[in-house]
Amino acid sequence: MKRIFTILAAVLMTATVWAQSPEKMSYQAVIRNSSNALVTSTNVGMQISILQGSSTGTVVYTETQTPTTNANGLVSLEIGTGTIVTGTFSAINWATGPYFIKTETDPSGGTAYTIAGTNELMSVPYALFSANGTPGPTGPQGIQGLTGATGAAGTNGAVGATGATGLTGAAGTNGVDGAAGLTTSVNGVTQVAGAITLTKANIGLANVDNTTDANKPISTATQTALDLKVDKVTGKGLSTEDYTTAEKTKLAGIATGAEVNVQADWNQATTTADDYIKNKPIIPTAADGSETKVTAGTNVTVTGAGTTVSPYVVNATGATALTIGQSYQGGIIFWLDATGQHGLIAATADQSTGIQWYNGTSTVTNAVRDGIGAGKFNTERIIANQGEGAYAAQICANYQGGNYGDWYLPSNYELNLLFSQKVVVGGFANASYWSSSENGNGYAWRQYFANGSQSYGGKSLADYVRAVRAF
């Protein structure tokens, strides 16, 4: 176990003789290990406590420090300057001793203190003792010192209030008279005592307001304008509007005896008569029914006169009622429009159980239409692009079911309508069937008749084909 040996415990005064007590004291110790070897040049952690009465007495002050040992294992510290744990060093009453110093040391520089030692302070530093004693009597006043140097001038004070106004001073001497002003005249009238008095005659207004109307002057422009006016004749009024020569000529052209009001006669045929109407519109001959252009055909009736009051009404009579699933015009009906007389027919059997969509060339055919009747357009586009050969569109166009030559490969939309009636039409496999709707350079739309899913596949695939036609 390490041991601590105190070699010095004393108060060392560091202040000058007239200073107050420095409230600290120097302390030195030598640190040795269990082998009695010095612990040199090492940071050690120390806790120093002041105990009153005995080596186990009351702790009146505790602080911690981390001094460094020198080459001789010596640590030097000043008690009173460390980190205070408890108490106040300056409040210790050294007259109520004895006092002991307890030191605890951690050689590793921490706070795990493993070395402890307690030593009595055999004497208390006089400066610390006297700081707690009763002051002695005041000594006689010393001789006055020399006068110090004059300090720097202080900052100017604020400006004081303005004082009362002084008495008015005596009047000053009059100045020298200025030079005489210039003599001035207006229209021959000279100023008198600095003023010029003018009359109307002096400024050419001698005749104003004191002459008869005949003698009052008038400008040349006004006289010229008056000369252009006509004299007002008694009994004849003057219009406020200008009367032009053109208007005078027009009035003069009215023949004597012209009628004021003319009653026009639509049927007047004499062109020189007063009631004749020129440029009359021609009224067409009344409709007599001979203009009818609608002719009833087979199973059709036409009623009405073809007028607004009696318009033509066309009705079909004896039309055959058609139904989905009916055998008709070389196939089986699978879709009808709202009239029930037009729709789509499917071939009674597949035209192929495995044939490619194209004729071996992957090109854009522009067969992209979809909807009712779109398949016929698409089929024609495909054949025009691919030419003769054995492929889906071509074998549909070549089909002659019922002696009809307008069969085609259905569009994607028409193929889906056919799937919805596959049970009624019959003869379908659970396989993929081609539509005529193209999807880019190398693909076309197809439908799987096992579940109805639609997708696009490569044009080289071998799918089933069923031709359709419209009626």
pLDDT-derived band at 307, boundaries 50, 70, 90: confident
Query: Cα(228)–Cα(165) distance, rounded to whole angstroms?
Result: 84
pLDDT-derived band at 316, boundaries 50, 70, 90: low
pLDDT recorded at residue 355:
97
pLDDT recorded at residue 289:
53
Residue 18 has pLDDT above 50, yes or no: no
Residue 358 has pLDDT above 90, yes or no: yes
Strand ranges (DSSP E) for 1-98? 3-9, 25-32, 45-52, 58-65, 74-79, 83-87
Of the segments 4-8, 74-78, 103-107, 461-465, which one has the largest average pLDDT value?
Answer: 461-465
Residue 3 has pLDDT above 60, yes or no: no
pLDDT recorded at residue 365:
95
| Range 394-410 average pLDDT | 97
pLDDT-derived band at 15, boundaries 50, 70, 90: very low
pLDDT-derived band at 231, boundaries 50, 70, 90: low
Residue 289, CA atoms < 13 Å, CB-side half-sphere: 6
- From 101-115, 361-375, 407-421, 447-461, the region with the lowest mean pLDDT: 101-115
Asked if residues 457 and 463 have their Cβ atoms less than 8 Å apart, the reply is yes
Please tell me which residue, 44 or 166, carries the higher pLDDT value: 44
User: Which residues, at least 6 apart from 274, have a Cβ–Cβ distance to it below 8 Å?
Assistant: 259, 262
Task: Check residue 450 and give left, alpha or beta (phi > 0: left; psi -120 to 50: alpha).
Answer: alpha
Query: pLDDT for 38-95, tens place per residue?
Result: 889 999 999 999 999 998 999 999 999 999 999 898 999 899 999 999 999 888 988 8
Residue 186 has pLDDT above 50, yes or no: yes
pLDDT recorded at residue 297:
64
For 197, counting Cβ atoms within 10 Å of its Cβ (0-12 exposed, 13-18 middle, 19+ buried), the class is: exposed
Length of the chain: 471
> Any idea of the CA torsion for 442, 448, 451, 452, to the nearest 10 degrees?
70
Query: Cα(403)–Cα(463) distance, rounded to whole angstroms?
Result: 26
At the top level of CATH, the class of 3-130 is mainly beta
How does DSSP assign 315-334, residue by residue?
A: EE-SPPP--TT-EETTEEEE
How does DSSP assign 81-134, residue by residue?
A: SSEEEEE-GGG--GGG--EEEEEEEETTSSS---EEEEEEESS--HHHHHHHS-
pLDDT recorded at residue 346:
98
Residue 14 has pLDDT above 70, yes or no: no
Please tell me which residue, 126 or 245, carries the higher pLDDT value: 245
User: Which two structure tokens, joined as six digits, stand for 81?
Assistant: 């300057």
φ, ψ of residue 59 to 5 degrees: the values are -80, 115
pLDDT recorded at residue 2:
42
Residue 406 has pLDDT above 70, yes or no: yes
Query: Cα(399)–Cα(406) distance, rounded to whole angstroms?
Result: 8
Of the segments 39-53, 192-206, 237-251, 435-449, which one has the largest average pLDDT value?
Answer: 435-449
pLDDT recorded at residue 101:
93
| In the chain, ranges of CATH 2.60.40.2550 domains | 3-130
Measured CA angle at 262 (ends 259, 266), to 5 deg: 150
pLDDT recorded at residue 349:
97
Within a 10 A sphere around the Cβ of 217, how many other Cβ atoms? 7
DSSP character for 214? G
- From 87-101, 300-314, 387-401, the region with the lowest mean pLDDT: 300-314
Of the segments 104-118, 123-137, 385-399, which one has the largest average pLDDT value?
Answer: 385-399
pLDDT recorded at residue 281:
75
- From 154-168, 276-290, 303-317, the region with the lowest mean pLDDT: 276-290
DSSP character for 215? G
How does DSSP assign 348-384, residue by residue?
A: SS-SEEEE-SSSS----------STTHHHHHHHHHHH
| Range 254-277 average pLDDT | 72
Within a 10 A sphere around the Cβ of 74, how many other Cβ atoms? 16
pLDDT recorded at residue 85:
92
| Secondary structure element (H or E) that encloses residue 425, with its range | helix 422-425
What's the N-to-C CA distance of the chain in angstroms? Answer: 119
pLDDT-derived band at 421, boundaries 50, 70, 90: very high
Query: pLDDT for 87-118, tens place per residue?
Result: 998 889 888 889 999 999 988 889 998 878 89
pLDDT, averaged across the chain: 82
User: Dmax over Cα atoms in the chain, in whole Å?
Assistant: 167
